A = this chain, B = another copy of it.
Amino acid sequence: MKNEFKPRTDLAVEAKEMFVEKNPEKEHELDGIIIREFQEDDVKLTRVEIDEEGSKRVGKSPGEYITLESQKLRELQSNFLNQISTMMAKELSRLIQKHQIPADARCLIVGLGNEYITPDALGPRTMNKTYVNAHLFKLHPESVDEGFRPIAAFTPGVMGMTGIETSDMIFGVTKQSEPDFIIVVDALAARSINRVNATIQMSDTGIHPGSGVGNNRKEVSEATLNVPVFSIGIPTVVDAVTITSDTIDYMLKHFGREISEQDRASKALTPAGMSFGKRKQLKQEDLPDEDTRKKFMGVIGALGEEEKRQLIQEVLHPIGHNLMVTPKEVDEVIEELSKVIANGLNQGLHASINPKNAKDFL
């Protein structure tokens, strides 16, 4: 059976949003998809579980998808970074236990991406910062304390530099080193501005490069490797289509909000638009009705999300301006976010690493 919808996104949350948008009438029919949301301080945690049926609907592999979202991640303040690392570690630990992987099972961490293109170097940089000890278990087992499991790690590089498909590199090293489970770390492309450098996604479904293209042998998953494959990623790049499309949405919501606030303002004494120092947030319910959208943005305003993106793509692509971009602070961002993931991996994988001693293992 064919997928009903092919997503262009790495994020399950977005895939679901896209599905609902295309099929608004089915919003309550998403039987195969369970979504739970939690808010802890400044971080929104979302767990999406997709079963076989849900998988067919939204075109994502069955399994669990977890996102930790926070605009604060962009500020790169060390206290907050430590805090979100620990939250990531808890979710990772839970995911590992869910798969009944024992505490001494051997893990192979794979740092995907091109080390020489900074926004794509999240995987390799994470690998360099993660605590690696598999060789100690083998060569100096007496030096290993309680509460640690054997961790190996490698960076397969990218095909343009190695001449070898990334999946083949992973297959080869996995067969030789025989880990009990695998974690792949990668920089992702975001499908919305507000997720760039602001979201950590984890899943237990492996990675499916060029998914939808029908090329299963490049899949890096339990199906091809016979051991559980987890993935961890952060969106670090975004294209001009997404920036424009999102901004048009924000403009429509901005108008919608203004209209509804004017309505209320005429009925009350509270001045419109008072925000009391908190950063403003535009929400889905701010989106005005179609007539208003048409008034402000013409036919564009009336288009659905995917139609709008497709139209922008058709305009920008032929003139060569659908740039894939990254925030200019990319050097510091990748340095700090790779530390966040490495820290989260260390705490999530070893019982004896915790927030107190975490920095000794970075």
Residues 331-362 (chain A) with a chain B CB within 8 angstroms:
331-332, 360
A272 within 8 A of B: no
Prevailing SS type, chain A contact patch: helix
Please encode chain A, from 307 to 318, with 1 for each CB lying within 8 Å of some chain B CB and 0 for all others: 000011011101
A211 within 8 A of B: no
| Known A118-B331, A193-B240, A250-B316: A128·B300 in contact at CB below 8 Å | no
A71 within 8 A of B: yes
Q: Which of B134, B295, B329 contacts A163 (CB 8 A)?
A: B134
A46 within 8 A of B: no
Binding site for B on A (CB under 8 A): 71, 74, 78, 116-120, 127-128, 132-136, 150-157, 159-165, 168-169, 171-177, 193-194, 196, 237-238, 240, 243-244, 246-248, 250-251, 254, 275, 279-282, 293-301, 311-312, 314-316, 318-321, 323-332, 360
Would you list 29 pairs from A and B whose C-beta atoms are within 8 A, ordered by A residue?
A74-B320, A116-B128, A118-B331, A132-B163, A134-B164, A136-B163, A151-B163, A152-B163, A152-B164, A154-B162, A155-B157, A168-B176, A168-B177, A172-B173, A175-B175, A175-B176, A196-B323, A243-B247, A244-B247, A247-B316, A251-B311, A254-B315, A280-B318, A293-B298, A295-B298, A297-B298, A298-B298, A298-B301, A324-B328
